[in-house]
Structure 1
């Protein structure tokens, strides 16, 4: 019983080696928001984000354009006197990646800024983190690619099946057309035969009546 429980735990750890979590928060442009993460040495952290700006005329948050907004991403090592290991500027929709050089607490900060001299705007920032080893994340990508490849193969198989069904339908239509043409041809020849036979009978009856009338001295 204990062995089964341990086996299930090991399988769960094997199936879910990468920690993934996403959320969103409300802020404003020019305001920096930070998140602390405890990372071990060699851990790979990937982040994906999307910044939306509140539009007063639409009363809703809409995607921001890269020519009006930029996002500053900073990653600092809290355990090493806030030593900054990542500093990059990106578009409102983007991602970032870094590998922890040492074990300890890290701070990830995002700061959306207006490129123009306009005042600060309300912003909605959606962010998703993936934490794991580089090999694990690459394996996850590989599984995703394999899954997409499998779906493409399934679509190709369905297309091939549809093509086979279409070829079968065309073959049946050709057979039906040949049968219809053969039936129409036979019907036409049968009609011609009936007309010729009827004409022959009429001619024979006319000759018979003429002979009868001659014998009766009517003609």
Structure 2
């Protein structure tokens, strides 16, 4: 099968254009603070957002998404991850916020992805490309979630390993002390006292 440059170039450009509309961010939210972001969407556009807590405290965060009229469209309280897809009922600024105001006294590190899907009448090839781009976005989100989970599990394993190490050192110290005391006691026990 032979491809011409005229057929391949628009295809590659469309894929790059679709991939360019994905944004991924990682941010740290201090205790008793919140961070808000917005996406401008037209009527019938849809937006996908995924997030996960990568580090900090109990790995929980508060999340909410509001419409241009400040109507809450999605909310999570004390969750470590979430995924939402909404469709815009009206044109305007859609706001989503992450809050660390009431959950803990530690800084939370949040990773999130957003992708706006514009509602356009397209031909079947462009529709297939858009579906491929959606699949790539889902794979990328899953990969970032797995990386965050791996980091979290690694932290737990390293913490447990450190505790086991110090517990073993404490047991070894106690064992040496008990051995020394027993030897000293037995030496003292078998010493004969001479009477003159």
* Length-normalised TM-score, structure 2: 0.49
TM-score normalised according to structure 1 size: 0.45
Pick the structure with greater CA Rg: 1
